[in-house]
Amino acid sequence: MSGRAVTGDQQQWSRSGEMQHSRGPYISVITNRTTNLLIRGAMLFSVGVFLALVLNLLQVQRNITLFPPDVITSIFSSAWWVPLCCGTAAAMIGLLYPCIDSRLGEPHKFKREWSSVMRCVAVFVGINHASAKVDFANNVQLSLTLAALSIGLWWTFDRSRSGFGLGICIAFLGTLVTQLLVYNGVFQYTSPDFLYIRSWLPCIFFAGVITMGNIGRQLALVSQSGTLVKL
């Protein structure tokens, strides 16, 4: 009887050990995946905050080329929520793009190198700079020009149907949210020509979505390969 009891205990311990061993890799995969998402989300959030600060400076202080302390202070004090909202949106968009690609079973392989991503960011900043600095005869010409530049950015650095569709949808949602914020008096635009906002704002949103989607895809590619891609 005692021998059978010992044998039963040994079998129970061996089964529990096998269950723990079988669960181990699964838990480690989940942990690695969660850590990967957190790291990529933090990086995307940081990029979004940085771009928001730079582009807000271009929009608000269009005649200033330096960064004096009073300008930086005014950005943080009067519109502190703008970088946080932009950083959160950038993280969500950057994580959503590779997730949609994997769901559709269509991995995005067009121009998947960091040099292309950096050029995409530079073009996006240039589009924002054009909206603040270039003078057009009317807002219709400016809006059409920025729309062409934004679609050209998508064609040059993305060319995916999922990227274009997500860009349109998120640009529409961003425009709607901005309309509501301006309507409730959170902030305002000078010389609005599209209800409460400027007509070129959806183009800026679309270009920003494409840019952050490219960054998110590149970060996901680096994390999957497990190697660092040189610039």
Burial class of residue 196, CB neighbours in 10 A (0-12, 13-18, 19+): middle
| Between 174 and 8, residue with greater pLDDT | 174
How much is the average pLDDT of 112-120?
Answer: 88
Give the model's pLDDT for residue 29. Answer: 47
What confidence tier does 138 reach under pLDDT thresholds 50, 70, 90? confident
What confidence tier does 142 reach under pLDDT thresholds 50, 70, 90? confident
Residue 149 has pLDDT above 90, yes or no: yes
Domain residue extents for the chain: 31-229
Q: What is the dihedral of CA 93, 97, 99, 100, to 10 degrees?
A: 120
Give the model's pLDDT for residue 133. Answer: 74
Give the model's pLDDT for residue 74. Answer: 56
Write down the residue that tokens 């807000």 correspond to: 56
Residue 70 has pLDDT above 60, yes or no: no
Residue 52 has pLDDT above 90, yes or no: no
Q: How far apart are CA 102 and CA 166, in angstroms?
A: 15
How much is the average pLDDT of 30-35?
Answer: 74
What confidence tier does 75 reach under pLDDT thresholds 50, 70, 90? low
